[in-house]
Amino acid sequence: MADHQKSALFSPLTVSGTTFKNRVVISPMCTYSADDGLASDWHMIHLSQFAMGGAAAVFTEAAAVEPRGKITHGDLGIWSADHARALKPVTASIARYGALPAIQIAHAGRKASMQRPWHGNAAMDDSDAGRGEMPWDIVAPSPEPVREGWIMPGELTIAEIGAIQDRFAAAAGHALDAGFEVLEIHSAHGYLSHSFLSPTSNQRNDAYGGDRAGRMRFALETAEKVRAVWPDDKPLFVRISSVDTDGVTEGWQLEDSVVLSGELKARGVDVIDCSSSGISGPATAAQGKTPLGFRTAYSSRIGTEADIATMVVGLVIHAEHAEAIVADGQADLVAIGREALFDPYWARHAAHKLQADPEFADWPEQYGWWLVRREPQISEYRDV
Ligand SMILES: Cc1cc2nc3c(=O)[nH]c(=O)nc-3n(C[C@H](O)[C@H](O)[C@H](O)COP(=O)(O)O)c2cc1C
């Protein structure tokens, strides 16, 4: 076994009776490769490699709770028993190779009906018809498009809001049937739940809008409904955009996230996954220069002030940095996104670098047996 004495990143963490073998989590990342929301062998191989690569938990990409809530035609879905059945081999494989299978459930709201990134990364229009892909009607708290030129969403009625929340709860049931051990509600990046939170996208003056309490109502009720279905011994995460950035000055603020996190904790949420941005544009693909690990300022404050476990995500690429984040208490878990696309074995390589597993004892023995014997031959050249 790895030497957990030496590394905070490679020490276990138990949340709601479920143990993460280390603090490395693969972040949800859309691959837009599903057909009618159904998982295929792509999802199985893509996600299993991260389990093989040593992460404690592997998140699927955002899985839509209803067809209207997909971002693109290729999104994964979790709105029926068929979708659960298609995901069963995926969860079995992730678990077999040593990680907790985790799923993010989502509704894209006013950011639904988009082109895949490589088809333009904007709202779909009739130009997509050549691929047989037509735009569909989308919904939001208010009839406010993401930006000028984007699809105008229909305003949700109170009854429709309740129905979508019920879809989140039903999706949690399907996720359980599919064999997932960890569930995350997507409440970030400008998608439906975030668009209720942010005053820039929520102009309602009924119980689901107005002041902060009104704007938080959708997220809090959804968490309650999901928690009622999702078992107590399985961790429930909520991903939030800790602050609105993207040029929005009067949007959702960090102090709002502290309050929201405390309220989510009171409703049985175990971990706040601290992302940011996306209310009026992309959350990830923004190109500007950003300091590595810049969201630790958010996870530190939310963790301390709301007294809740946190996961941080965003430009954590170095083992030593991830180690320091956990050792210094800036976050309990570190989510790795694009760096895992670059190196699906990021967790194992980090453990090696940190001397948490010098004997390759946690590797599959088919690999570890060879690697430990090769080490004396190559160690002096490793950084050359
Ligand atoms: C290809 C891709 C797809 C993504 N899909 C999702 C998603 O489904 N849900 C989500 O919450 N974030 C999504 N994100 C954001 C990532 O989870 C992560 O927060 C972001 O990439 C920043 O972390 P990184 O710097 O480690 O990549 C996606 C990012 C990428 C690059």
Domains in the chain with CATH codes: 13-381 (3.20.20.70)
- Among the residue ranges 119-128, 160-169, 302-311, the one predicted with the least confidence is 119-128
Q: pLDDT value at position 26? A: 98
Amino acid in position 157: T
Q: How many CB atoms lie within 10 A of CB 44?
A: 18
Q: Is the pLDDT of residue 152 over 70?
A: yes
Q: What lines the ligand 1 site, CB under 6 Å?
A: 27-30, 61-62, 104, 186, 188-189, 239, 275, 284, 313-315, 336-339
Nearest protein CA to atom 10 of ligand 1, as residue: 28
Average pLDDT of the segment spanning 105-121 = 95
- Residue 225: count other Cβ atoms within 10 Å of its Cβ: 20
Indicate if the pLDDT at residue 327 is higher than 80. yes
The percentage of the chain sitting over the pLDDT mark of 90, rounded to a whole number, equals 88
Pick the range with the lowest mean pLDDT from 64-68, 121-125, 204-208, 320-324. 121-125
What is the mean pLDDT of the segment spanning 305-318?
Answer: 97
Mean pLDDT of 83-102: 98
Q: Judge whether residue 247 has pLDDT over 80.
A: no
Q: How many helices (H) and strands (E) does the chain have?
A: 11, 13
pLDDT of residue 382: 73
Tell how far the Cα of 12 is from the centroid of ligand 1, in angstroms.
Answer: 24
pLDDT of residue 186: 98
Q: What is the pLDDT of residue 67?
A: 98
The region of weakest confidence among 119-123, 172-176, 345-349 is 119-123
What is residue 232's predicted lDDT score, i.e. its pLDDT? Answer: 96
* Atom of ligand 1 minimally distant from the CA of 338: 27
Please compute the mean of the pLDDT values over residues 237-256 and round it to a whole number.
Answer: 89
Mean pLDDT, rounded, for 55-61: 98
Selected residue with higher pLDDT from 57 and 247: 57
Q: Which residue has the higher pLDDT, 287 or 381?
A: 381
Catalytic status, residue 191: yes
How many whole angstroms from 283 Cα to the centroid of ligand 1?
8
Tokens 């689901």 sit on residue: 208
Rounded distance from Cα 29 to ligand 1 centre (Å): 5
For position 179, what pLDDT does the model report?
98
Residue 122: predicted pLDDT: 87
Q: Whose CA is nearest to atom 23 of ligand 1?
A: 314
Residue whose token pair is 């960090």: 254
| Reported confidence tier of residue 137, pLDDT bands at 50, 70, 90 | very high
The pLDDT score that the predictor gives to residue 383 is 66
pLDDT band (50, 70, 90) for residue 149: confident
Computed over every residue of the chain, the mean pLDDT equals: 95
Please choose from 284, 287, 294, 338 the residue to mutate so as to test ligand 1's pocket, defined by most ligand atoms within 8 A of CB: 284
**380 band by pLDDT with thresholds 50, 70 and 90:** confident
Answer whether residue 1 shows pLDDT above 50: no
Q: Region 282-311: what's the mean pLDDT?
A: 89
Angle, alpha carbons 164-76-73 (nearest 5°): 90
**Greater pLDDT, 156 or 294:** 156
Residue 286: the pLDDT is: 58
In the predicted structure, residue 250 carries a pLDDT above the cut 90 = no
Structure tokens at 99: 């990680």
Q: Is the pLDDT of residue 2 over 70?
A: no
Task: Please compute the mean of the pLDDT values over residues 277-297 and round it to a whole number.
Answer: 82
> Closest Cα to atom 28, ligand 1: which residue?
29
Q: What count of other Cβ atoms lies within 10 Å of the Cβ of residue 51?
A: 23
Contacts of 360 (CB under 8 A, 6+ apart): 352, 367, 368, 371, 372, 375
Report DSSP letters for 181-214, one per residue.
SEEEEEE-TTSHHHHHH-TTT----STTSSSHHH
Given a cut of 80, whether residue 5 has pLDDT beyond it is no
pLDDT of residue 384: 52
Contacts 24+ apart (CB under 8 A), 151-159: 151/110, 151/113, 151/123, 151/124, 153/109, 153/110, 155/204, 158/206, 158/207, 158/208
Supply the DSSP string of 60-115, one letter for each residue. Answer: EEEEESSGGG-SSTT-EE-SSHHHHHHHHHHHHHHHHTT-EEEEEEE--GGG-SB-
